[in-house]
Amino acid sequence: MLQVEQILQKRYQLKTKLGENAGRQTWLAQDLDESQSVIVKLLAFNPQMHWDEVKLFEREALVLKNLHYPQIPQYRDYFGIDQQTGEGLPWFGLVQEYLPGNSLQQLLAQGKRFTEKQVRKITTSVLEILIYLHELSPPVFHRDIKPSNLILGKDNQIYLVDFGAVQDRAKAEGVTFTVVGTSGYTPPEQFWGRAIPASDLYALGATLIHLLTGIAPADLPQHQMRIQFADKVNLSLHFNHWLEKLTEPAAERRYHSARQALEALQSGYSPGYSTAKASQPASSLVSYRHLAGLFLVQLLILSFGASILLPKFLNPTIQESISPEPGVYLNSMNRAQQAYFLEKSTFAGSLGDLKLDLTTPTTSYNYSTRATEFAAFNYGVSQQNTLKSYVGGVFVIPATEFGGSEDEMTTISILCQANSPGVIQPQEPIYEQGKLACGSGTTYISGY
């Protein structure tokens, strides 16, 4: 393992390990040549890792090298470490500018609550960064905006960091690419491998909702994929409408660009919304007819690779109780069934119909799906006696149960974990008399 005070490339002396996760390490280091602090991000190359991880790491280095904006950390160096220095494994290293300060996630964890005035200032700064990124040629999409990737510097400026999920359109057009993002902040189209300027805007909106409510968006209720936040915070009418438009589930109903969103924010006008009461849009449901076009295009032209990479897909409280692989796969399967129903008015009877191309069985789990007229059940059954199995459910119900109109239907979903390890398929969740619940012998993990 790499150690404190170890010197890499005869130049970078490791000082403090800031994070470690699945073969990745982030260090605060000292650049001995320049006598200044830097961030060194390291990726260990081992036979078990998926090649997409290397591609994402290299993409971050390549994109950062060509970005020049005061509120984005500057690229400094990229290098490789041989097996002898890396104690048995080769490593890739990325060096970037160190930005002293705290992430907005750290401030939230410390109990910080943000006012509308403070959030508007943060919003303006981030939108200005996104205008720079999105108006490059080719455009650059961050794809993982969230509180932990926004730094409030000691100079009171907001910085956008962690470009590990970044995508530029030139490399994305006509090919599949790794699915990345974080649950609650990731827009629907990004789960299908599609990223556009409005995708970053959705993630920004979800982040702002977290700052204002103090509640992670994955923990807020949703109606037909729309985050319900209006009753959790007292906002001006205009800003409430602006946030709702920013976080529309259907990308075509959001602002089309960061510049348009900034102009709407500053002008006090949010196109597409009436100036009635602020709570009304938050409680309404998206019609199937409206979202069908969005998912039809995605279902026809996009497919995932065999491995789906969603860093920190689940929020921290859920991560402690759910294994990463089945959590990622079953959440994706649940969402795919919801999207399939929006377009087909029926559930998919096989994984092939969902266009997910999930690898199954894996070394640990066997995945499958089963559809009925009004529900779909997704299974992750353990292949080892030491692991717990999982089951997800998606149910179609009248929208009137959530205040929608009588001619609409909506879907709700749930993910449950078996109480005990074993290779037996867990009992399916149920929806009865307006209540969604896990089946006997299982425990609720997440729903949306």
Domain harbouring 70, CATH code: 3.30.200.20
Location of structure tokens 């961030």: 39
- Identify whether 361 is preceded by a cis peptide bond (ω within 30 of 0): yes
Q: Which residues contact 367 (CB under 8 A, 6 or more apart)?
A: 329, 330, 333, 351, 358, 360, 361, 378, 379, 380, 381
Task: Based on the fold, state whether residues 114 and 246 are members of the same structural domain.
Answer: yes
Q: Are residues 89 and 119 in the same domain?
A: no
Which CATH number covers residue 157?
A: 1.10.510.10
pLDDT digits (tens, 9 = 90+) for 15-32: 999 988 777 889 999 999
Q: How far is CA 275 from the centre of its chain?
A: 31
Is residue 326 in a domain?
A: no
Full domain range(s) for residue 390: 343-447
50 and 115 share one domain: no
Compute the average pLDDT of residues 421-438: 91
The pLDDT tens digits for 241-255 are: 999 999 998 888 999
Q: Please tell me whether residues 263 and 384 are part of one structural domain.
A: no
Please indicate, yes or no, whether residues 121 and 209 belong to a single structural domain of this protein.
yes
* Same domain? 241 vs 130: yes
**For the chain, how many structural domains are there in total?**
3
Res 437 pLDDT > 50: yes
Within this chain, do residues 199 and 162 fall inside the same structural domain, yes or no? yes
Domain boundary pick from 97, 123, 141:
97
* Residue that finishes a domain, picked among 284, 307, 333: 284
Specify if 91 maps to a domain.
yes
In a domain? residue 64: yes
Task: Answer whether residue 61 is part of any domain.
Answer: yes
Residue where a domain terminates, one of 284, 304, 326? 284
**Whether 134 and 273 share a structural domain:** yes
Active site (annotated) includes residue 407: no
CA–CA gap between residue 3 and residue 7 (Å, rounded): 9
Q: Which of 98, 182, 170 is nearest to 141 (CA)?
A: 170
pLDDT of residue 49: 63
Give CA 354 to chain center in angstroms: 20
> What's the pLDDT at 239?
94
User: What phi, psi does 409 have (nearest 5°)?
Assistant: -120, 155
Mean pLDDT, the chain, integer: 80
Residues 93 and 106 in one domain: no
pLDDT in tens, 236-289: 999 999 999 999 988 889 999 999 999 999 986 544 443 333 333 332 233 333
Q: Is the pTM of this model over 0.75?
A: no
Residue 428 included in any domain? yes
Asked whether residue 142 is domain-assigned, the answer is yes
251 and 171 both lie in a single domain: yes
Is position 313 within any domain? no
- Looking at the fold, whether 107 and 50 belong to one and the same domain comes out as no
Asked whether residue 388 is assigned to any structural domain, the reply reads: yes
Written as one string, the DSSP assignment of 162-200 is --TT-EEHHHHTTS-------TTTS-HHHHTT---HHHH
Indicate whether 380 and 423 sit together in one domain.
yes
Section 348-357 average pLDDT = 82
- Give residue-wise pLDDT tens across range 378-406: 999 999 999 999 999 999 888 676 655 66
User: Which of 144, 162, 168, 200 does the annotation list as catalytic?
Assistant: 144
